[in-house]
Amino acid sequence: GPLFLEILENWKDESDKKIIQSQIVSFYFKLFENLKGNQIIQRSMDIIKQDMFQKFLNGSSEKLDDFKKLIQIPVDDLQIQRKAISELIKVMK
């Protein structure tokens, strides 16, 4: 079955949908990073990445940089875990 489409259908509200889309987009950026060395599909991936950049990040390179920083934060680092927990309440506001 589909990876994301059924999940996406469960999120009806537009603001909620943006939350789940951001998680899905982060998956794709990680996927593109893993496929970076594959020259056969590189051009297609570049076009798709550019479309996603325009649609989900409004063409803002600052937002793209922030997004890349977020998806590269290691979750298994103890210091990162502590910082994340200490910031959780502020993030939720």
pLDDT of residue 19: 85
Residue 86, CB-side half-sphere exposure with 13 Å CA sphere:
6
Supply the pTM of this predicted model: 0.63
Q: What is the pLDDT along the chain (93 residues), one digit of tens a residue?
A: 888 888 888 888 888 888 888 888 888 888 888 888 888 888 888 888 888 888 877 888 888 888 888 888 888 999 999 999 999 889 888
Give the pLDDT confidence score for residue 65 in this predicted structure.
Answer: 85
Contact (Cβ atoms closer than 8 angstroms) between residue 44 and residue 51: no
The domains found in the chain, sorted by start residue, are 5-92 (1.20.1250.10)
Give which of 41, 42, 32 is closest to 67, Cα–Cα: 32
Distances (CA, A) of 33 to 8, 39, 57: 23, 13, 18
